[in-house]
Amino acid sequence: MNLDIYIAVAGFLLLLCVFANKLSDRFGIPSLLLFLALGMLAGVDGLGRISFQDSRLTNYVGTVALIFILFNGGLITNWNNVKNEIIRGSILSTFGVFLTAMFLFVGAYFIIGLSFEVSLLLSAIVSSTDAPAVFSAMRSANLQLSPKLKSLLEFESASNDPMAVFLSVAAISYINNPQIGVTNLSLIFVNQILLGTLLGFIFGRIATYILQNARLPYPGLYPVYGTSIAFLIYSLTQLLGGSGFLAVYIAGIIIGNSIFLYRRHLIRFNDSLAWIMQISMFLILGLLVNPHELIAVMPVGFACTIFLIFIARPLAVFICLHRGNFNYKEQLLISWAGLKGAVPIILATYPLIEKIPNAQYLFNLIFFLVIISVLFQSKTFPTLIEKLGLSENKPSKDKKSWFSK
């Protein structure tokens, strides 16, 4: 297959994904599932017969996509709403993720009967809430949540990926080297969080200062500037030992809540870029999986998904929020909003890259879990909001941005 055919296939798949969103809005099917389905349809088991097994390239594409998805999430985050829930959101995005992983490990290893290595990696990889999946579900719900509840869901889902990344890398490190100390891993985690937060703030302020004082000759250069700083903030933070994802999100908040020339132009461009990244990420993830292999993991996948949705995530949320200003109904909705998405599938490529035993089985298990989580939780999310009486009965008018605001 020559380059022209590759370009034609890429363009055709992107076009299908654009119009797939109309099906998503009309029938309430999560858009990310449609993107995954199109990727699988183009894969080796589908009509396209494209053989794709490059887990490293998938990991690279997913990392780049998440940089811009989280950066855009920060750009459109209203700091006046988020700042009131930053403490609870931070607890959920760190301690809550750890508790979710711990409870799921207990269930997977002692109850479901998976091997120690698979249980450890599974619990670490699927422990966080996926920001694109949560934002998409909130937009599709077309119901107005209270600013307090909405802000917590947005902040938690966008800021908890660093914890899941750390837990996944730590689990792989432990499997490869059981002699590694917990103290060393803890220090690495603290450095990632502290440096990620600090450098995100510093780089965000520097980037904002440049935007406010350097008058670029053409409006089209402002989105290019935004793209460049997203790359630089992530890479420099990672090289210095911090969490690049956290730094990019925090820098996005600082930039998005500042005033500068062509601010709206930059934000709209990044919103479109986030869509392109989301579609590309899910398409390539769909290509990587072989659908016929999912049949073997279905029984275990259902068991792990049920344990995660109904036991591990709710326990973690109730523990983290039991003394907060969220009542039982709100805590229940927050528990249900722990959707999974592309991040766990991307993290599942790390064991494939490291050639961990049973890595392919683990990847298929996580892929199946994500599909069930998104399909089940996303479809029932609007109904649960209404049943719990948490809707303010004001249909959301903002249909233009993927990240509902």
**pLDDT tens-digit readout, 367-381:** 999 999 888 888 888
Rg of the chain (C-alpha set): 20
**pLDDT > 70 fraction of the chain, expressed in percent and rounded:** 93
The crossing angle, in degrees rounded to 10, of helices 3-27 and 31-42 is 150
* 397 within a domain of the structure (yes/no): no
Please tell me the total count of domains within the chain. 1
User: Per-residue b/e over 129-165, b at no fewer than 16 CB within 10 Å?
Assistant: bbbbbbbbbbbbbebbbeeebbbbbbbbbbbbbbbbb
Does residue 161 carry a pLDDT above 70? yes
Instruction: Please report whether residue 393 resides in a domain.
Output: no
CATH number of the domain within which 358 lies? 1.20.1530.20
Residue 75 lies in a domain: yes
Domain-located, residue 4: no
Q: Which tens digits make up the pLDDT trace of 169-220?
A: 889 988 988 887 777 777 888 888 899 999 999 999 999 999 999 888 888 9
Decide if 405 is inside a domain. no
> What's the confidence (pLDDT) of residue 394?
52
| Residue with tokens 């599709």, as numbered in its chain | 140
Q: Per-residue pLDDT for 138 more than 60?
A: yes
Lowest mean pLDDT among 97-111, 134-148, 389-403: 389-403
Give the residue from 87, 163, 160, 88 showing the smallest Cα distance to 319: 88
pLDDT reported for residue 404: 36
Residue 99 in any domain: the answer is yes
pLDDT band, residue 393 (cuts 50/70/90) = low
- Name the residue range of residue 154's domain: 53-387
Q: Is residue 401 part of a domain?
A: no
In a domain, 398, yes or no: no
User: Is residue 67 classed as helix, strand or coil in its secondary structure?
Assistant: helix
